[in-house]
Structure 1
Amino acid sequence: MLCALIMAGGKGTRFWPLSTEEKPKQFLNLIGDQTMIQMTVNRIKPIIPIERIFVCTGEQYVDLVKEQLPELPDRNIIVEPEGRNTAPCITLSAMIIRRYYPKVNMVVLPSDHLIKDEDKFRNTLIAADSFIKENDQAIVTLGINPTRPEVGYGYIKYGNKILKSNDFNVIKVDSFVEKPNLENAKRYLKKGNYLWNGGMFIWSINNVINQIKMYSTDIYDALIEVMDINEEMLQETINKNYQNTESISIDYAVLEKSKDIYVIPSCFEWDDVGSWESLDRYRDKDESGNILVGKSKVIKANNNLIISSNNSVIVEGLSDIYVIENDGKILVGHKSNVANIKELKNII
């Protein structure tokens, strides 16, 4: 049996002003008609029923989760009192999921990724789940075959030990590598045994809790009450103890220390939608290369990014610019500088 944890507590600052602290990018429809979190849930529903899908988010986003995922049971919304990075988030969620499903495998997914070939993605998850059923002390991560020398992602270096699961290669991880500079990214691409780290993991629920107990004792000790406390006291206990956890990523807390980690090289099209440039890669464009979202129109204009959330925006006779209208703000600039848009936040 497979459960899913979707992490949805991020504030999405890289997409300001479209993404705000009140409504971050996982709750926006950046790529298509669905929001990012809706896409994430609908992507896995064919293999994981909604009652086994859990969302961990901040208290300020609970209403947004309920609004956008009305089928999700209330008990499946795990509320973090504050953001403490991914290790406390995953530990808390694993302990809560174990209350209802004590012997399941769990897949951990970010809420704001784009995956194009969904059938291939689901088949990869099924293969990982099958591998964990046969190797319950192992951790499987999905590594993305790199298509360019990307400096914005971490990498997974894999070794020579290759196993099989459902016709998928499952390869022993050699090491996790931090985001490289451009020279190293080109070298990784050329060497061929490096994959992008997509931040997606599959493990047994009991194994992840044991791994935290072994390698991040402070987090385990702070949250251990969560597994056995009665339902009426659960959120109060979380609120009291969560502040005592170390703020650390699951990569540093567990993955870089664990001895039994494997990767499945995954060839589905993937992007973490972490930059404005990613919209340029994946959003539909008109015949003149313009991306138009909301009440946006262009006249004799080319290669522009125009996003309007509330008011009409019309661009005439201009090329290679961005116009972002949201939350009472209008930002206009050269499209080549869109990656630096968040630097304008302190000016407005």
Structure 2
Amino acid sequence: MIAVIMAGGKGTRFWPRSTVTKPKQFLTLASEEATMLQQTYARFRTCLPEEDVYVAVSENYLPIVKEQLPELADNRIIIEPDQRDTAPCIALTASFFLRLERDDVLVTAPSDQYIPETEELMEALRAAEHAAKTDGVVVTLGIVPTRAETGYGYIETIESDEYSSKYGERVKAVKAFIEKPTKEKAEKLIELPNMYWNSGIFIWKPSTIASYMMKFQPQMWSIFDLKEEEFRLSYSKLPKLSIDYALVEKLDRLYTIPIEFIWDDVGTWTSLERIFSTDGDGNLMLGQIYPFATRNSIIYTEQQRIVTIGVEDLIIVSTAEGLLICRKSDEQSVKNAIAALDTDQEGRQT
């Protein structure tokens, strides 16, 4: 089994700490000692030999990867010419290994997830590997939900003896993917016994990825036969598609393994409250912060001192990049706000 860590995301929901030049996977968010990428790499290296752990990263972040993982050999770095989301990245990964004539089972995993229970993770991956050895079979890890989360997609499995998996009791057939729900819908979904969060971790063979790419994304897949310069130009023009939308939601040989160990995708500021302890007033603070009558807030500052008086349920983040102030309940809107900010800045520059 081969692990490929995808490290090309932008992490805009962690703005202004996560920036275009140094996004969240290269920051010490879930640990004071190691970045998200370093933690993910170490997690797989405890279970897999050095030669079977790879990193896929866009070309602009290559220097950061080499700095943070000096032990990673150049031939284990899969370089994207541009950032085009997870579907092009995974297609590139499949092409990379097929050119090497390696069709071992791949684990394609994000670089920014918090999974402290490494042994339990590997048990699930080994069970998934057994199923994914079969041509055309794709397995994902489904997280047993613990709250009505609106920031994740959901997986509905088939709970019937008629559809019991031949790959073992842990492996369940997937009935449907459900897009990120409203709060009201999420509250209903978590009451169902056959509903799981989509972890974004997929287990499949390069040849399986290739066959589905040829079927569902033939135009995208065709560019991997081009010569270097043509390929680079074509890759940069690919649509930004998630692997869920481009392939996975279309599959009928899709399975999931439910897992109950601690997992978090560390996608928003409030996710840090599930990793670190808050103070007696429910605040999570880092930096020179002086709170008065402040409750249930996340406050982070790198340089400036921050004084808060009479605030509650806020996210306040101050870095050299900028200042963020928002209600916790609105944090899913940070991504859209930063996209609008970037568009405005590009407009002013032109």
* TM-score in terms of structure 1 length: 0.86
Change (3 A) 1:240 1:148: same
Shift of the alpha carbon at 1:26? 0.9
Deviation at 1:82, TM superposition (A): 2.0
Q: Which moved more, 1:16-25 or 1:49-58?
A: 49-58
Paired residue type of 1:14: R
For residues 215 and 137 of structure 1, the distance between their equivalents in structure 2, rounded to whole angstroms, comes to: 13
Indicate conservation of the 8 Å contact 1:108/1:201, yes or no. Answer: yes
Q: Which residue of 1 aligns with 2:59?
A: 59
On the 8 A contact 1:142/1:199 being kept in 2, the answer is yes
Show CA shifts across 1:123-154 (max 9, x none): 11111112223x23311111111111222211
Q: Which residue of 2 aligns with 1:19?
A: 18
Report the CA distance shift for 1:50/1:237 in structure 2 as closer, same or farther (over 3 A): farther
The runs of 5 or more residues in structure 1 that have no matched partner are: none
Cα distance, 1:118–1:238 mapped onto 2, change above 3 Å: same
Aligned pair partner of 1:163 in 165, 169, 173: 165
The residue number in structure 1 matching 2:318 is: 325
Q: Which residue of 2 aligns with 1:85?
A: 85
In structure 2, C-alpha distance between the alignment counterparts of 1:182 and 1:299, rounded to whole Å = 30
Following the alignment from structure 2 to structure 1, what is the Cα–Cα distance between the partners of residues 332 and 252?
Answer: 38
TM-score (structure 2 length as normaliser): 0.85
Equivalence for 2:305: 313
Over 3 Å counting, the alpha-carbon distance change for 1:170 and 1:332 in structure 2 is closer
Residue 142 (structure 2) aligns with: 143
Gaps of 5+ in 2: 346-350
Identify the residue that residue 75 of structure 2 maps to in structure 1: 75
Q: How far apart, in 1, do the equivalents of 2:177 and 2:326 lie?
A: 37
Q: Structure 1's 306 and 90: CA in aligned 2 closer, same or farther, altered over 3 A?
A: same
> 5 Å matches for 1:36-47?
36-47=36-47
Q: How many residues align?
A: 335
Q: Is the 8 A contact 2:97 2:103 kept in 1?
A: no
Q: What's the counterpart of residue 256 of structure 1? A: 249
Contact 1:296 1:306 in 2 (8 A): no
User: For residues 269 and 257 of structure 1, do their structure 2 counterparts lie closer, same or farther at Cα, with a shift above 3 Å needed?
Assistant: same
1:4 aligns with 2:6: no
Output the amino acid matched with 2:123.
N
> CA-to-partner distance for each residue in 1:248-282, whole Å, 9 max, x for gaps?
22222222222211110111121211111112222
User: Which residue in the other structure is 1:186 paired with?
Assistant: 187
CA offsets, 1:43-67, max 9 Å, x none?
1112222322222222221111111
1:16 shift after superposition: 0.8
1:182 counterpart letter in structure 2: K
Distance between the aligned counterparts of 2:327 and 2:247, measured in 1? 42
CA distance in 1, matches of 2:291, 2:251: 57
SS of residue in 2 equivalent to 1:212: helix
* Change over 3 Å in CA distance of 1:191–1:78 after alignment to 2: same
Equivalent AA in structure 1 for residue 198 of structure 2: N
User: Is 1:267 aligned to 2:283, yes or no?
Assistant: no
Partner of 2:171, secondary structure, is strand
Contact 1:222 1:244 in 2 (8 A): no
CA distance in 1, matches of 2:104, 2:83: 26
Instruction: Write the distance in 1 (CA, Å) between the matches of 2:244 and 2:37.
Output: 23
Counterpart secondary structure, 2:215: helix
Deviation at 1:84, TM superposition (A): 2.0
CA contact 2:4–2:107 (8 Å) conserved in 1:
yes
Equivalent residue of 2:250, what SS?
coil
Q: 1:174-323 alignment to 2 at 5 Å? A: 174-225=175-226, 236=229, 238-243=231-236, 245-293=238-286, 295-298=287-290, 303-309=296-302, 311=303, 313=305, 315=307, 320=312, 321-323=314-316
Q: Partners in 1 of 2:324 and 2:188 — Cα distance?
A: 37
Matched letter for residue 139 of structure 1: V
* Structure 1 Cα separation of the partners of residues 174 and 146 of structure 2: 20
Counterparts of 1:288 and 1:192 in 2: how far apart (Å)?
34
Cα contact 2:270–2:298 (8 A) shared by 1: no
Measured after TM superposition, the shift of residue 173 of structure 1 is 1.0
